[in-house]
Amino acid sequence: MGTVIVTGSARGIGAATAALFADIGYNVVINYNTSEAEALALCEKITANGGRAIAVQADVSKMSEAKHLFVEAKKAFGAVDVLVNNAGIAQQKLFTDITEDDYDRMFDCNVKSVFNCCQCALPDMIHNKYGRIINVSSMWGVVGASCEVHYSASKAAVIGMTKALAREVAPSGITVNCIAPGVIDTPMNKGFDEETITALKEETPVGRLGTPEDIARAIAFLADKNSGFITGQTLGIDGGFI
Residues forming the active site: 151
Question: How do 82-85 and 3-6 pair as beta strands?
Answer: parallel
One-letter identity of residue 139: M
- Close Cβ partners of 221 (under 8 Å, ≥ 6 residues apart): 227
How far is it, in rounded angstroms, from Cα 236 to Cα 182? 7
How far is it, in rounded angstroms, from Cα 191 to Cα 121? 34
Helix/strand number for the chain, H first, E second: 9, 7
Say how many Å lie between the first and final Cα of the chain, rounded: 34
CB atoms within 10 A of CB 6: 30
The set of long-range contacts for 184-188, using a CB threshold of 8 Å and a minimum separation of 24, is 184/12, 184/13, 184/209, 184/210, 184/211, 184/212, 184/214, 184/215, 185/209, 185/210, 185/211, 185/212, 186/11, 186/12, 186/13, 186/212, 187/11, 187/12, 188/12, 188/90
As beta bridge partners, residue 83 has: 5, 133
